[in-house]
Structure 1
């Protein structure tokens, strides 16, 4: 990080605080780039500053602060949900579904046939989730972190990703909860028919953990009220409602973020 920027950032720190300068700059009117400084103590947020090595303008700095702090908040949201869930491979659903498919080629079993369909549907949703999350992570790593610049379209992009992440999280969660009793029956039937023991150990563990996560999933679904209310809408309409919702929520939080802004004072 630019030593001059760090020198400016340290002017606004308090005792025992850690100084973190977000590497992404935002230019107002294509002039000077402003950077968001985060002050922490014991890993807790203590304050913000907006700084530049160029010609400082308070109005420009406050405008840049809104863009920078919202992008930071949206990225934190994505990291905590999108990146974490994206680590779950769709194969955790597809592999047991394929074992069931092989079994059903020479056996008739309505319970396991239903289980194959449910697992494949969950696999498709997880595959789409991983694709969306990984595409944005790739964009972040190879564009934003390479240029160290964000523009207005980057806020639009991260909001769209969050809208998709929540949509897919809701669909997968709803499918799992509504199919929970069937999946329990499927697992019992797999054990009975000797299919479960043939699964790779990782897949056995995953299915057991999946079936123990019903309460956690139900709790998550309660936080996705907007996705529930818009579930009946066509994809495009649903996405528009969700994106507007994310932006509105961000705007509502701005006064709170500004309370922690040390420099410049609003």
Structure 2
């Protein structure tokens, strides 16, 4: 978005800013009847306080609220993907690889089960990392380059957000259903006499992911997912369910739209 467009849109929305609030213009737009509509956000203490939907020319309420459905959805889901993704991408590969490279005797049944569950978590983590990195590249080098989002972008962000939830679900269910086994694996790693001992923070990571089961159970409940043994079917079911939930959320946000009224 060029400086002239930014100044024009800012002039429109600044009059709706309240005391101690900052305002920004999202650089991507949605076209309604050939007119590009942008989303402006008002922040207070770095938290969302309201929105406005404006175009370069004359604003139309019906058009603006049509654009709100698309722009708010894309912004909310993209933000969620990045927020969850950034936290998980901070976990270094060595936290998984080094514990998994520790040899285990065949007779260590529970420990081996824990090791296998931990290997499953590493597999999920790798898939998750690829998903988020691919989305980040798409967002930065495709969406921000053209600025104009269309239906295929909405489909992509919903598919990505749904898959993020699937990976979160698989991570939490693995941790909960194999909690004792992963803890046994962590205890083994701590006591194992190996040629190269694991670093303390790597041991703490394996132990730490087994703690706070009540928090994990609450996080799983908050995902509010339709469960099916067939993961492919489950992903499709939750895509449709999420689309319905997202529509309700976006509709509820209309009461925070300051302009147009």
**TM-score, with length taken from structure 2:** 0.88
2:167 corresponds in structure 1 to: 168
The separation in 2 between residues aligned to 1:63 and 1:22, in whole angstroms, is 16
- Segments of structure 1 that go 5 or more residues without pairing to the other structure are none
In structure 1, C-alpha distance between the alignment counterparts of 2:94 and 2:155, rounded to whole Å: 31
User: Which structure 2 segments of 5+ residues have no match?
Assistant: none
Count residues with an aligned counterpart.
257
> Could you tell which deviates more after superposition, 32-41 or 145-154?
145-154
Give the corresponding residue for 1:3: 7
| Equivalent in the alignment of 2:216 | 217
1:22 aligns with 2:21: no
Flag the 1:108–1:44 CA change in 2: closer, same or farther, 3 A: closer
Structure with the larger RCO, 1 or 2 (CA within 8 Å, 6+ apart) = 2
Choose the corresponding residue for 2:56, options 53, 68, 77. Answer: 53
Deviation at 1:244, TM superposition (A): 1.4
Query: Is the partner of 1:120 in helix, strand or coil?
Result: helix
Quick check: 2:23–2:40 contact (8 Å CA) kept in 1?
A: yes
Alignment partner, residue 46 of structure 2: 43
Alignment of 1:44-123 (within 5 A): 44-100=47-103, 103-104=104-105, 109-123=108-122
Q: Deviations over 1:54-113 (max 9, x none)?
A: 34333222211111112122123223323322332444223211123xx54xx7533443
- Alpha-carbon distance in structure 2 between the residues aligned to 1:243 and 1:222: 17
Question: Does 135-144 or 70-79 show the bigger shift?
Answer: 70-79
Q: TM-score if structure 1 supplies the norm length?
A: 0.87
What secondary structure does 1:211 align onto? coil
> Distance between the aligned counterparts of 1:42 and 1:116, measured in 2?
44
Aligned position for 2:187: 188
Q: Structure 1: which 4+ aligned runs deviate by more than 4 Å? A: none
What is the root-mean-square deviation of aligned Cα atoms in Å?
A: 2.2
Cα distance, 1:201 vs. partner? Answer: 3.4
**Alignment CA distance shift 1:86-1:196 (3 Å):** farther
Q: Distance in 1 between matches of 2:73 and 2:55?
A: 18
